[in-house]
Chain A
Amino acid sequence: MKTKYIIIAALAAMALANTSCEKVSPQGVLMAGTAVEDRVQMSNLYYKEHLFEMKFNYDLMNKHDEYTFLVGGDSHVTTDPGRMDEMFAIGLEGDDLFYAHLGDIADTKAEYYIVLDSLLDEAKKRYVVENYVQNEYGRWVHKTHPEDIIGSTYEEIKFPFFPVVGNHDLTHNGWALWSNIFGSSFYTFDVMIDDGSEGGEPIYDHFIFLDTASGTLGKTQIDLIEDGVLDGWYKYRHTFVFSHTNLFRPSSMQFASTFSREETFFLLQQFDEWFTTAVFCGHVHAWDDRVYNDVTYLTLDSMSERNSPEPGDYLVRVHVKKDGDWSWEKVHMDYVSPKKK
């Protein structure tokens, strides 16, 4: 509820700052509301202060042979959050470890973010009911660890939804709304596969989320990357990277605001140095998969019911097995807006 009040306050501020709240305006076409340098500096501060919360060491491999995560993007939520709701339902049904979103999560109107925030609240409730039980002290404990006597309060449970910021999230001072809900646009977390307690080296997988909503990483983010801020603490088995802006054009006939030359080469080299397994991108509302330098690049189509009104394979589920093998598959979405029926 607190977030809702903040959003409403942000709405009032935006009403003063903008004479128009249309989805696309000349202002939005030519310039983003908050510069990438400011966003990354804010995000990095938030990231450092919430490092513990952002670090997820799941040891579910002790229970399962593999873990999975679900990726979608460009949902452009307006008043109809049907596709986002379906994504959360698919993740619950598939027992995915977490959700990753590739940006442009909502079109930038405060009311759309209120819709989104309510949806996230509801999705968290379903996630907690599905995965947690309350112990005798009223604390929530994960079903895989029923012996846990400490547990968590409901508020302490992190709903495992990890977005990157997209360009549509920024227009009309949208960063204020986006950052109020998600905090940071530049962060990492790890998944612990094996803690090494039975001998051998601990095994971790690494997940990196970049702020590319302005079509560039910006100087601050590049400096932080070069300083190793996203490198993590371990020697990783897999590294997965998430970016809104895509690196490769899905079609030669398609215009797309891919990165400029130097930044493309910087990123491709950086992915190589991170020994990246796969990079997930959105932005262009078109599917593309390719491999460059042993890195898999998946660009996802828009899951928005307005951009992709027909049912289709808009999500990707990634399977990561305990032995290190990994694979991906497209996941079908059925939701159709009532207006289209």
Chain B
Amino acid sequence: MITATSLCAWAQDSYIPYKAYDGEHKHEASAYVMGGDNVVSGKFGGLAVSYNHHFTPRWHLGGNAQIQMWKRLYSFNVTGGYRLPVKFGHLYFDGKLMLNRYNRWGFSEFIANASVTWESAYVDLRLGESLIHFWSKDVYFEDRYGYTEPLTLTFGFGVNIRHRNNPWNIGFFFRNYDDFYYENWNINWGLRWYARIYKQWRLFGEFNIRPAGSMSQLASRYEGSVKLGVKYKW
């Protein structure tokens, strides 16, 4: 599962048509490559893989992992959720547990996130909450220090130019999270797209601008990245 960053692609595959899960497949596997430029680490490249299992048309559980070279970032998360059909689309109630290792700076991070996503034919909206805890050791690698943010709001908005059950689509998004991190008040924005290349195969991609200090008169570009991936379902 590519989580919310490619929500349109995920939803399209997982819940075709959008009114109800198709019930024809139980497995989804996907992978994407990424590349970008970060202020701190400079150019980076990475790979992410995921698997999502549909136990029923309503319940699913999955796992995601990524590695980002040069940043030396290693991530893993498990996620599960429930889909509730409503009059205008679906509500998804999702939970995620995530572990990140920022090895370049010697920091580890644990995140627990709960979110509700409303998805309609053209628009999706997500609200949620994250508990974030990070920790590190001192310069002598002796003492361990930690810090916890118990409340960090998750919010995301996306809009597609075509109805979401079309075989290809392009959309715009802004949000304060990505597949493997949740921010506080730094708002990502960018373009996303997907295209069916065969009955069980999808291509998807994303162009993402990650600013620093947005919405507070700061707004400098912090990181730009692209993703290109493929998804297979069976």
Within residues 181 to 230 of chain A, which ones have a CB less than 8 A from any CB in chain B? 213-219, 222
A30 within 8 A of B: yes
Closest to A273 in B: B139
Residues of B within 8 A of A217 (CB): 39-40
Q: In the complex, which residues of chain B have a beta carbon less than 8 angstroms from the beta carbon of A35?
A: 220
Given contacts A255-B184, A262-B71, A262-B102, contact A31 B219 (CB under 8 A): yes
Closest to B145 in A: A293
Of residues 250 through 267 on chain A, the ones whose CB sits less than 8 Å from some CB of chain B are 252-253, 255-263, 265-266
The residue on B at minimum CB distance from A244 is B218
Known contacts A256-B184, A261-B181, A292 near B145 by CB under 8 Å: yes
Q: Could you tell me if B217 and A216 are in contact, using CB atoms closer than 8 angstroms?
A: no
B115 within 8 A of A: no
Cβ–Cβ contact A218 & B39, under 8 A: yes
Q: Given that A249-B149, A252-B150, A266-B40 are contacting pairs, would A260 and B212 also be in contact in the complex, using a CB cutoff of 8 Å?
A: yes
Residues of B within 8 A of A150 (CB): none
Query: Could you say which of B39, B215, B219 has the most chain A C-beta atoms within 10 Å of its C-beta?
Result: B39
Is the pair B212, A259 in contact by a Cβ cutoff of 8 Å? yes
CB nearest neighbor in A for B218: A215
Kindly supply a per-residue 1/0 record for chain B positions 190-230, scoring 1 wherever the CB is within 8 Å of any chain A CB and 0 otherwise.
00000000000000000000111111111110110000000
Cβ of A248 under 8 Å from chain B? yes
- Whether B218 pairs with A260 at a CB distance below 8 angstroms is no
| Cα distance, A255 to B155, chains bound together (Å) | 12
Q: Tell me the smallest distance from the CB of A171 to a CB of chain B, in Å.
A: 6
Tell me how many residue pairs across A and B have CB atoms closer than 8 Å.
Answer: 127
0 or 1 for each of B159-171: is its CB under 8 Å from A? (1 = yes): 0000000000000
Q: B106 in the interface, Cβ–Cβ < 8 Å?
A: yes
Judge whether B220 and A218 touch: CB under 8 Å. yes
Q: Are A32 and B39 in contact (CB under 8 A)?
A: no
**Bound: A273/B145 CA distance, A:** 15
Contact A248 B219 (CB under 8 A): no
A257: which B residues are within 8 A, CB to CB? 184-186, 212-216, 218
CB-CB contacts below 8 Å: A272-308 with B? 272-273, 275, 292-294
Give the docked Cα–Cα distance between A257 and B219 (Å): 10
Q: State in angstroms the CA–CA spacing of A245 and B214 once bound together.
A: 12
Residues of A within 8 A of B107 (CB): 265, 268-269
Q: Does A7 contact B (CB under 8 A)?
A: no
The docked-state distance in angstroms from the alpha carbon of A218 to that of B220 is: 9
- Least CB separation from A27: chain B residue: B217
Rounded to whole Å, the gap between the CB of A252 and the closest CB of chain B is 4
Within 8 Å of chain A (Cβ to Cβ): is B120?
Answer: no
A167: Cβ under 8 A from any B Cβ: yes
Q: Which residues on the A side are within 8 Å of B216 (C-beta)?
A: 29, 167, 215, 257
Q: In this assembly, does B41 line the interface, its C-beta being within 8 Å of a C-beta of chain A?
A: yes
Contact B39 A222 (CB under 8 A): yes
Task: Give chain B nearest CB distance to A187 CB in angstroms.
Answer: 20
Give Cα distance in the complex from A294 to B144, angstroms: 11
**How far is A35 from B71 in the complex, measured between Cα atoms in Å?**
24
Which of B71, B185, B211 lies in contact with A255, CB distance below 8 A?
B185
Please state if A170 and B217 are interface contacts (CB–CB under 8 Å).
yes
Residue from B40, B106, B139, B184 in contact with A263 in the complex, judged by beta carbons closer than 8 Å:
B40
Closest beta carbon of chain B to A175's beta carbon, Å: 13
Does B183 lie within 8 Å of A293, measured CB to CB?
no
Q: Are B105 and A265 in touch, CB under 8 angstroms?
A: yes
CB-nearest residue of chain A relative to B102?
A265
Q: How far is the CA of A221 from the CA of B141 in the complex (A)?
A: 26
Establish whether residues A216 and B184, one from each chain, have CB atoms under 8 Å apart when the complex forms: no
**Cβ distance A329 to chain B, nearest Cβ, rounded Å:** 25
Contact B42 A219 (CB under 8 A): yes
Q: Which 8 A/B pairs are nearest by Cβ-Cβ distance?
A: A215-B213, A216-B212, A215-B212, A215-B218, A214-B220, A265-B105, A252-B151, A257-B213
A-B contact pairs, 21 of them (CB 8 A): A29-B216, A31-B219, A167-B213, A213-B218, A214-B220, A215-B220, A217-B39, A217-B40, A252-B151, A255-B153, A255-B185, A257-B212, A258-B185, A259-B212, A260-B183, A261-B183, A262-B38, A262-B71, A265-B102, A269-B136, A275-B139
Measuring CB to CB, which residues of chain A are less than 8 angstroms from any residue of chain B? 24, 28-32, 35-36, 167-168, 170-171, 213-219, 222, 245, 248-249, 252-253, 255-263, 265-266, 268-269, 272-273, 275, 292-294
Known: A265-B102, A293-B145. 17 other contacts (CB 8 A): A28-B217, A29-B219, A32-B219, A35-B220, A36-B220, A168-B217, A171-B217, A215-B219, A219-B39, A252-B149, A258-B185, A259-B212, A260-B183, A262-B41, A262-B71, A263-B212, A269-B105
